[in-house]
Amino acid sequence: VNTMDDTLGNDLQNILDTAVAEYELPAIQAAVIMDNNSRWTGISGTTNYSRKTPAPLNSIFRIASATKLYTAVLAMKLCESGLLDLEQTIDIWYPEIINSDAITVRMLLNHTSGLPDTFEKFSTLLISGLFANRIWKDEELIDRHNEMVYFEPGSEWKYSNANYILLGLIIEKISDLSLEQNFQQHIFEPLKLEETFYRPNENPTPFLLSGFDRSLMPFPNRHKPDQTSWSSLAVGSGAILASAMDMAIFMYALFNGDILEMHTVSQMM
């Protein structure tokens, strides 16, 4: 429910309407929470590029790499409980990964591990693109990251989805719970995020829009709601679905110390 001043709400809606055209998007959704707890959610655009069907306000989107912040929160929760140390090397869990005895949890979190990005491997992209309903197994994800590195661990920085794919798998090993169960137990349920889901699971919401990806493929690659290949490949690096307001609630809670202790949040920053 929008509780913000109508004038400001209209101004925000105009920004969204402009952005859809400027960035050639099918649709865009945004949410704002003010310090006085007044809230606004807006959406602009259509369900696809045909421009025929307006996107409903209650639409759910694949939030892609914004998932990484949620996964980082789970890792830091484990640190707070003493079950994980940022300086632990990942050979404890995955000795088959190249340089695993030198790559630390901290390096995974801050993208200094040197591991190659999962989505830069053409065969991986091809398989996921051709077989939309594929479910990637854990051992397959590991096999994709034990062949080479970009640099010696800790010596440089390079954004890599591999870091957060591995973090998700490590979180599962330590907690003895699935990544989805971890998200539910530590984030979704405590914050009452009723419009946040983890893929791949079976049809989590009828309000999920198709996504259109222009970065992995040279054309807008459509990610239909029932597609599982990309999400089961991305897991902890990019498999959450959410509304903009649920994301805003999560961010607001995180940076106000409602999920993690503030010194932990400072460590993340």
Q: Residue 204: its pLDDT value, please?
A: 74
Residue 28 to residues 5, 49, 115, 208, 231: CA-CA distances in angstroms? Answer: 21, 12, 32, 13, 20
Q: Residue 143: its pLDDT value, please?
A: 83
Q: Residue 254: its pLDDT value, please?
A: 98
Residue 66 makes CB contacts below 8 A (sequence gap 6+) with: 240, 247
Let me know: does 77 contact 167? Beta carbons within 8 Å.
Answer: no
Annotated catalytic residues are 65
Q: Residue 220: its pLDDT value, please?
A: 55
Residue 32 to residues 5, 73, 189, 195, 248: CA-CA distances in angstroms? Answer: 12, 21, 21, 16, 7
Q: Residue 218: its pLDDT value, please?
A: 58
- Average pLDDT over all residues of the chain: 92
Backbone angles phi, psi at 3, to 5 degrees: -120, 15
What distance in Å separates the CA atoms of residue 74 and residue 187, rounded to the nearest whole number? Answer: 8
Structure-token pair, residue 125:
């992209």
What distance in Å separates the CA atoms of residue 115 and residue 184, rounded to the nearest whole number? Answer: 28
Q: Residue 262: its pLDDT value, please?
A: 97
pLDDT, tens digit, 9 for 90 and up, residues 195-236: 999 988 767 788 999 888 777 665 557 788 888 888 889 999
The answer to whether the pTM exceeds 0.85 is: yes
Q: Residue 202: its pLDDT value, please?
A: 67
Let me know: does 42 contact 223? Beta carbons within 8 Å.
Answer: no
Let me know: does 260 contact 76? Beta carbons within 8 Å.
Answer: yes
SS3 label, residue 45? strand
Burial class from Cβ neighbours inside 10 Å (0-12, 13-18, 19+) for residue 23 reads: exposed
Low-confidence ranges of the chain (pLDDT < 70): 146, 202, 216-220
